[in-house]
A and B are shown apart, each in its own frame.
Chain A
Amino acid sequence: MTALASAPRGTGTRRPSREAPARAVRTLLRGLPTLPAVVLLAVFLAGPIAYCVYYAFTDMQLTGASGARFIGLDNFTRAFRDSDFLNAVKLTLVFVVGSAVIGQNTFGLALAILMQKATKPVRALVNGVVIAAWVLPEVVAGYLMYAFFYDQGSLNSLLDALHLPAQNWLYTMPILAVCLANVWRGTAFSMMVFTAAINDVPQELTEAAEMDGANPWQRLWRVVLPVIRPSILTNLMLITLQTLSVFGLIYTMTRGGPGNKSETLPIFMYQQAFQNSLIGYGTAIALVLLVVGALFSVVYIRLLKLEDD
Chain B
Amino acid sequence: MAAVATPPATSAGHAAPKTVTPRRSRRFRPSRVVINAVLLAVSALYVLPLVWMLLASVSNTNSFRLTMPSSLTLDNFDAVLNIDTTYRPMLNSLLLCGFGTAVTVVVSVLAAYPLSRYRSRVRRPFLYTILFSTGLPITAVMIPVYSMFVQVNLIDSMPATALFLAASALPFGIWLMKNFMDGVPVVLEEAARIDGANTMQVLWRVVLPLMRPGVVVVTIFTFIGMWGNFFVPFILLLSPEKLPASVSVFTFLSAHDQTQYGQLSAFSLLYSLPVVLLYLLLSRKLGGGFALGGALKG
**Interface check A162, CB cutoff 8 A:** no
Q: Are B292 and A192 in contact (CB under 8 A)?
A: yes
B39 proximity list for chain A (CB < 8 A): 111, 114-115, 118, 122-123, 125-126
Q: How far is the CA of A152 from the CA of B65 in the complex (A)?
A: 6
Contact of A144 among B50, B139, B250 (CB under 8 A): B50
* B228 to chain A: closest residue by CB: A137
A43 proximity list for chain B (CB < 8 A): 167
Contact of B52 among A119, A154, A301 (CB under 8 A): A154
Q: Are A37 and B111 in contact (CB under 8 A)?
A: yes
In the complex, per-residue mask of B135-178: 1 if CB is within 8 Å of any chain A CB, else 0: 11111111111111011000000000001101110110010000
Q: Are A45 and B136 in contact (CB under 8 A)?
A: yes
**Interface check A130, CB cutoff 8 A:** yes
Number of interchain pairs (Cβ within 8 Å): 337
B48 proximity list for chain A (CB < 8 A): 148, 154, 158
**Interface check A143, CB cutoff 8 A:** yes
- The minimal Cβ–Cβ distance linking B84 to chain A, given in whole angstroms, is 18
Q: How far is the CA of A273 from the CA of B246 in the complex (A)?
A: 22
Q: Contacts A40-B166, A147-B49, A290-B136 hold; do A51 and B128 have CB atoms under 8 A apart?
A: no
Q: How far is the CA of A111 from the CA of B148 in the complex (A)?
A: 44
Count A-side interface residues using an 8 Å CB cutoff.
Answer: 119
Q: How far is the CA of A120 from the CA of B16 in the complex (A)?
A: 13
B3 proximity list for chain A (CB < 8 A): 196, 200
- The minimal Cβ–Cβ distance linking B57 to chain A, given in whole angstroms, is 12
Q: Are A195 and B135 in contact (CB under 8 A)?
A: no
Interface range on chain B (Cβ under 8 Å from partner): 35 or more
**Interface check A94, CB cutoff 8 A:** no
Q: How far is the CA of A124 from the CA of B133 in the complex (A)?
A: 34
- The minimal Cβ–Cβ distance linking A201 to chain B, given in whole angstroms, is 9
Q: How far is the CA of A290 from the CA of B136 in the complex (A)?
A: 7
Stretch at the interface among A76-84, A97-105, A171-179, A278-286: A278-286
Contact of B135 among A41, A144, A237 (CB under 8 A): A237
* B127 to chain A: closest residue by CB: A306
In the complex, per-residue mask of A136-170: 1 if CB is within 8 Å of any chain B CB, else 0: 11111001111110111110011000000000000
Contact of A203 among B16, B146, B279, B288 (CB under 8 A): B16
Q: Contacts A41-B133, A52-B141, A137-B246 hold; do A34 and B126 have CB atoms under 8 A apart?
A: yes
Q: List 18 A-B contacts (CB under 8 A).
A: A3-B128, A11-B120, A36-B111, A37-B108, A40-B163, A48-B148, A52-B140, A118-B36, A125-B40, A126-B39, A139-B230, A143-B249, A143-B264, A154-B48, A196-B293, A286-B143, A290-B136, A293-B135
Besides A193-B293, A248-B234, 18 other CB < 8 A contacts?
A7-B126, A37-B170, A41-B171, A44-B167, A49-B141, A52-B143, A114-B39, A117-B17, A117-B35, A126-B43, A135-B272, A139-B247, A143-B253, A199-B12, A234-B297, A282-B143, A283-B143, A289-B139
Listed from nearest, the 5 A-B pairs whose CB atoms lie closest are A297-B135, A44-B167, A137-B228, A245-B137, A196-B293
